[in-house]
Chain A
């Protein structure tokens, strides 16, 4: 009996040692030596690198709300504790100042740190994996030469032991983020470019694709499966389906998508929550051609499996009732008191100022989380130079949980909208989640033009 136990323990220990040894070896197998030599002082390369970094939105994760550009420290919440993004300024002591191009290349593309430890997939290297060497080289030149070095120590993760070991991550990488090449679905160069931007630098799937049991994205491309970009939840926001069904992007035109990526709004919608940040830090900087390519590619995606392709074709009876003062539900009363002033009786909002709720796929999307979160916490549209002001949705956290559920159900099922109902428990959970969520840039007011900055008063 005792010997059995001893043997078992010995076996376990040996197994662990072996697993550890292999786990420490795996990253070496992932890394490679790039063939290019990079002239980090080449102004053209630096400029290109800045653009590539914008398309890859390195800024969003590696910069905190009031922190310096790229100095890291942004917490990424996981159920087990936060992990923090790192300082990627060229500071020698605390940043990536002594990274060679090879180090940088392997970190960004393969998720392997300079010391050969595996990086958490919170850094979206499974997507960046398909980026060509030239683009990584350009980014390297940009980070090394044009980003201001900032001294800021990296923070350790809050994960408990075992989960904070790095060597098991190597297995994760081997299973879920294997080497991958870009495979164009279409011969058309524009569509191929769009597909590349979405799958690769844009890492759209890291929010819009559902995760599996290993926290891996269930598909990294449309060729993998039709679950690619079929909708997922991140930070309490529903990054909704971007596929062809009615509740996905079925109601959007290519031109509207381009407008949305460039300005953060269309005549009837406004980017909000996590997507407002994507537009603010990334897509607004992209060229018209690249935006068009992404939009055109998105419009080629088939409907998500099992989802209705067409809408319910419901008649709008809401507008007339509200105009006639027929308030036939608690939801209607709440809508009139709190929301109508901006979103209007016909639910059409005001073009480029207040988004429509009627016919807005972000509102009747299958999962109500985004609608719930913005109603409770409010939020600001992205700021871009294309519109004069960036408007905010006020927080309605002072309403009761029951009333929040009423008004959310009301807007999701009024005018021509049709969607599943939420209940009070959903509101309770979201409020609890929000009480712990750190604030982000789009929770704050926009920058007011210099002319409206407070100045010293002139007295009589």
Chain B
């Protein structure tokens, strides 16, 4: 409400102010509609993170209609939200891209796409070579979605990238939005899968199922993605690794657990809880990853301690 008072006194022309006083301050006190209070982050140089050079405001989808390629962006957004239904030939798991990229890739610590458009191409430790955005997306198709790569030049690949480009809001290539894709987790913690199992049944199974099978709606579309079994991500996925999964779980799961955060998600489990529950579900049976022997080829970029192979 303070904002309103300030508005009234700073911006209202003198005549109006006089009228305002004359009519009694009641008229002035009347609250006015508020605008969107969007999450805003600093933009920094890739080289020098200490220098702020601007701000980035998470865009709302209603702004897409103003883009010249609105249809393409909307198509990309739909593909990311409903990948399994729209691209059944490429998706093996019962998983959508946004099963892991929370709230359409718009929340920091929830594997956002906010910097993806600018970040690639990049040399990745797991690949041991430069990976561009198309290859990065296909990495998720092959591992997280346990599926098949999408044609690099397909309309679908272009649409997904168009959405990510729109989300980057023209932040220049040598700059980045100052956010983290994944949150911190204490990697020195020793996982206790027995305790993890207890947490799983108390805090996760209501949605992800007593057998980790997830849930589908009456049309067969994914409601809650599976955490293990044939329809889950394969062992080549980042989330098959205990600490990577824990970093995701701690800040994003359970969802609908509180009134803050877009999905009312995360931030209720301790590091130990997240590590325990992640050890429990990540090590449950899941599909193999055929190309696993090619991962982490460079001795200078060794495989992490929680790698599955």
Measuring CB to CB, which residues of chain A are less than 8 angstroms from any residue of chain B?
325, 327, 330, 333-334, 336-338, 341-342, 344, 346, 348, 350, 353-354, 377-380, 387-389, 391-395, 397-403, 424, 427-429, 431-432, 435, 443-446, 448-449, 451-452, 454-460
Give the distance to chain A from B297, nearest Cβ to Cβ, in Å. 28
Chain B residues contacting A354 (CB-CB under 8 Å) are 256
Looking across the interface, which residue of chain A has its beta carbon closest to that of B75? A325
0/1 string, B1-18, CB within 8 A of A gives 1: 100000000000000000
- A394-B262, A435-B1, A459-B189 in contact; A399/B270 too (CB < 8 A)? no
Chain A residues contacting B192 (CB-CB under 8 Å) are 458
B270 close to A457 (CB less than 8 A): yes
Tell me what chain B mostly uses at the interface: helix, strand, loop, or mixed.
Answer: loop
- Tell me if B288 is interfacial: C-beta within 8 Å of chain A: no
A389 close to B35 (CB less than 8 A): no
Partner of A457, one of B38, B103, B189, B263: B189
B36 close to A399 (CB less than 8 A): yes
Give the distance to chain B from A393, nearest Cβ to Cβ, in Å. 7
Chain A residues contacting B39 (CB-CB under 8 Å) are 398
Q: Could you say which interface size class chain B belongs to? A: 35 or more
B270 close to A454 (CB less than 8 A): yes
A403 close to B256 (CB less than 8 A): no
B202 close to A449 (CB less than 8 A): yes
Looking across the interface, which residue of chain B has its beta carbon closest to that of A338? B262
Separation of A379 and B259 alpha carbons in the complex (Å): 6
Which segment of B144-152, B203-211, B229-237 sits at the interface?
A: B203-211
B264 close to A392 (CB less than 8 A): yes
Interface centre among A334, A350, A380, A451 (most CB of B within 10 A): A451
- A325-B75, A348-B217 in contact; A389/B254 too (CB < 8 A)? yes
A458 close to B272 (CB less than 8 A): yes
Partner of B223, one of A327, A350, A394: A350
Chain B residues contacting A395 (CB-CB under 8 Å) are 259-260
- A327-B74, A378-B259, A431-B31 in contact; A398/B37 too (CB < 8 A)? yes
Give the distance to chain A from B160, nearest Cβ to Cβ, in Å. 14
B203 close to A452 (CB less than 8 A): yes
Separation of A427 and B34 alpha carbons in the complex (Å): 9
A330 close to B273 (CB less than 8 A): no
A451 close to B74 (CB less than 8 A): no
- Tell me if B307 is interfacial: C-beta within 8 Å of chain A: no
- Tell me if B169 is interfacial: C-beta within 8 Å of chain A: no
Q: Can you spell out 6 A-B residue pairs with CB atoms less than 8 angstroms apart?
A: A333-B65, A346-B219, A348-B218, A435-B1, A443-B259, A448-B202
Partner of A394, one of B33, B186, B195, B261: B261
- Identify which of residues 251-281 in chain B touch chain A, using a CB-to-CB cut-off of 8 Å: 254-264, 268-273
Looking across the interface, which residue of chain A has its beta carbon closest to that of B103? A341
B78 close to A325 (CB less than 8 A): yes
- Tell me if B50 is interfacial: C-beta within 8 Å of chain A: no
A341 close to B263 (CB less than 8 A): yes
Looking across the interface, which residue of chain A has its beta carbon closest to that of B224? A350
A459 close to B190 (CB less than 8 A): yes
Chain A residues contacting B257 (CB-CB under 8 Å) are 389, 391-392, 445-446
Separation of A377 and B255 alpha carbons in the complex (Å): 17
Chain B residues contacting A460 (CB-CB under 8 Å) are 188-190
Looking across the interface, which residue of chain A has its beta carbon closest to that of B79? A325
Looking across the interface, which residue of chain A has its beta carbon closest to that of B78? A325
B189 close to A401 (CB less than 8 A): no
Looking across the interface, which residue of chain A has its beta carbon closest to that of B65? A333
- A388-B205, A454-B273 in contact; A333/B259 too (CB < 8 A)? no
A378 close to B31 (CB less than 8 A): no
A451 close to B61 (CB less than 8 A): no
Partner of B34, one of A378, A388, A389, A400: A400
- Tell me if B306 is interfacial: C-beta within 8 Å of chain A: no
- Tell me if B60 is interfacial: C-beta within 8 Å of chain A: yes
A388 close to B269 (CB less than 8 A): no
Chain B residues contacting A336 (CB-CB under 8 Å) are 61
Separation of A369 and B202 alpha carbons in the complex (Å): 34
Separation of A242 and B135 alpha carbons in the complex (Å): 58
Looking across the interface, which residue of chain A has its beta carbon closest to that of B63? A333
Partner of A448, one of B64, B215, B255, B268: B268
Looking across the interface, which residue of chain B has its beta carbon closest to that of A402? B33
- Identify which of residues 33-64 in chain B touch chain A, using a CB-to-CB cut-off of 8 Å: 33-39, 60-62, 64
B272 close to A454 (CB less than 8 A): yes
- Identify which of residues 72-106 in chain B touch chain A, using a CB-to-CB cut-off of 8 Å: 74-75, 78, 103-104
Give the distance to chain B from A165, nearest Cβ to Cβ, in Å. 27
- Tell me if B170 is interfacial: C-beta within 8 Å of chain A: no
Other 13 A-B pairs with CB < 8 A, given A334-B61, A432-B31, A445-B258: A325-B74, A333-B62, A391-B256, A391-B257, A392-B259, A395-B259, A427-B33, A429-B31, A431-B31, A451-B198, A452-B198, A452-B268, A452-B269
- Identify which of residues 13-32 in chain B touch chain A, using a CB-to-CB cut-off of 8 Å: 31-32
Separation of A203 and B150 alpha carbons in the complex (Å): 62
Chain B residues contacting A428 (CB-CB under 8 Å) are 31-34
A459 close to B188 (CB less than 8 A): yes
Give the distance to chain A from B150, nearest Cβ to Cβ, in Å. 18
Looking across the interface, which residue of chain B has its beta carbon closest to that of A377? B259
A403 close to B36 (CB less than 8 A): yes
Give the distance to chain B from A318, nearest Cβ to Cβ, in Å. 14
Chain A residues contacting B206 (CB-CB under 8 Å) are 353, 387-389
Partner of A401, one of B34, B60, B199, B254: B34
